[in-house]
Amino acid sequence: MKIVDVKAWALSVPVEHGITFGIGKVLRRDTVVVRVETESGIVGYGESHHGRAASSVADIVNNLLRYFVVGMDASDVMGVWARIYEMQLRSHGMGAGTSIAMSGIDQALWDIRGKAVGWPLYKLLGGSRRRVPAYAGGVSLGWSEPDALCEEVGAALALGYKAVKLRGGDAPRRDIQRVEAVRKAFGDDLVIMVDANTAYSLADALAVLPAFEALNVEWLEEPFAPHDHRSYAQADRSRIPLAAGENHYTRFEFHRLIEDAHVRILQPDLSKAGGITEVLRIAALGSAWKLPLCPHTATTGINMAVTIHVLAAVENAGWFEGDISTPNPFRDQLVSTPYVVAKDGTVSPLDRPGIGVEVDEDFIRAHPFIEGPAYAPGPARMVR
């Protein structure tokens, strides 16, 4: 189980009809795939989030972290995590960049552990092949006109989903109109979440929350920047819970988020927050406060499959974020099918050893990173 090689690839695929939401219009999709190989020939794969700097994330893996990891025991995931923390996270390192890069390594190590013993990841983590409720999310359901948005929601429901996440962060009036249109079109049984992608001011959030409460919105996600603790505190005055976490890194940042007690839905991303090892720790912290874990999912089927395994193994599991982006070659071509939505709107973890997806390295070689901006940004805004 000695690690003999660690390699990361930065990948891109163009997007012809990208959605528009709080950070601008999507022009292409990026990701980073990490491959770890052992002396005995077992290969594990993981995903690191692109961080809007995919080539830089891959460079952190290839030209820094691999030198801490090669030669270690692949089964010693805690030891590898601690080594990277000691050498890079604790002092003089790039915190968020390192957390993102190490997430892919950590996923790959857990993939290797599962393959070595012949167990699927959920079983290795102490879970069962249980059903997990899923909502239609991903890079989708953006700032469309209400009629067009309702058509998109209808297509998502046809896939089996019973819940959807709409994009907020536009003008409060238009955000409310979109939620009203979807609620009117699909009735009270549809579960609706709203994600503002950090684009609201405090005044915006206070304007939409009463309307969202009347429309029975499940949660308001990331109304503010992750470091804006004061606004989260001042906006926490509705029965609509605030959700956050996809832009928080490691349990050390979640520690304050949990203790402040204004965010009631925890959303770490397994390709950003430090991998499986660290998200299990975050889940345990949250469980002590009775907070549900509803992870943000990233770009490829690797992260999606990993997320379901983890949700099947923690006691405070919440919703799985399904990806309905069309097309998404990182979900449909890079890997074998990562999950299937059942008729009741749930998903279950894969039952093959490790993460359970097969990775096509020919696809990887055919989709190198594309230089240039991945988003067409909207108008610049002052810090609010």
117-121 contact pairs (CB < 8 A, 24+): 117/353, 118/353, 119/353, 120/309, 120/349, 120/350, 120/351, 120/352, 120/353, 120/354, 120/356, 121/276, 121/306, 121/309, 121/310, 121/313, 121/349, 121/354, 121/355, 121/356
Please answer whether residues 257 and 244 qualify as being in contact, where contact means their C-beta atoms are separated by less than 8 angstroms: yes
- The Cα 376–Cα 381 span in angstroms is 14
DSSP secondary structure letter of residue 252: H
- SS3 string of 116-183? HHCCEHHHHCCCCCCCEEEEEECCCCCCCCHHHHHHHHHHHHHCCCCEEEEECCCCHHHHHHHHHHHH
Which domains does the chain show, CATH number per domain?
Answer: 3-118 (3.30.390.10), 122-360 (3.20.20.120)
Please answer whether residues 273 and 106 qualify as being in contact, where contact means their C-beta atoms are separated by less than 8 angstroms: no
Q: Spell out where 168-305 has E strands.
A: 191-195, 220-221, 242-244, 263-266
- 258 by DSSP, 3-state: which? helix
* Total Cβ atoms within 10 A of residue 109: 30
> How far is the CA of 1 from the CAs of 111, 115, 116, in angstroms?
12, 11, 9
pLDDT of residue 192: 98
- The Cα 33–Cα 45 span in angstroms is 7
- Find residue 48's DSSP bridge partners: 32
- The Cα 217–Cα 232 span in angstroms is 18
At what angle are helices 301-311 and 275-288 packed, to 10 degrees? 40
Tens-level pLDDT at each residue, the chain (384 residues): 999 999 999 999 988 777 788 777 888 999 999 999 999 999 999 999 999 999 999 999 999 999 999 999 999 999 999 999 999 988 888 899 999 999 999 999 999 999 999 999 999 999 999 999 999 998 889 999 999 999 999 999 999 999 999 999 999 999 999 999 999 999 999 999 999 999 999 999 999 999 999 999 999 999 999 999 999 999 999 999 999 999 999 999 999 999 999 999 999 999 999 999 999 999 999 999 999 999 999 899 999 999 999 999 999 999 999 999 988 999 999 999 999 999 999 999 999 999 999 999 999 999 999 998 777 776 556 555
Q: Spell out where the chain has E strands.
A: 3-14, 20-21, 24-26, 28-38, 43-48, 132-137, 163-167, 191-195, 220-221, 242-244, 263-266, 320-323, 346-347, 375-376
- The Cα 368–Cα 384 span in angstroms is 37
pLDDT of residue 379: 57
- The Cα 104–Cα 346 span in angstroms is 26
pLDDT of residue 298: 86
- The Cα 117–Cα 224 span in angstroms is 43
pLDDT of residue 42: 98
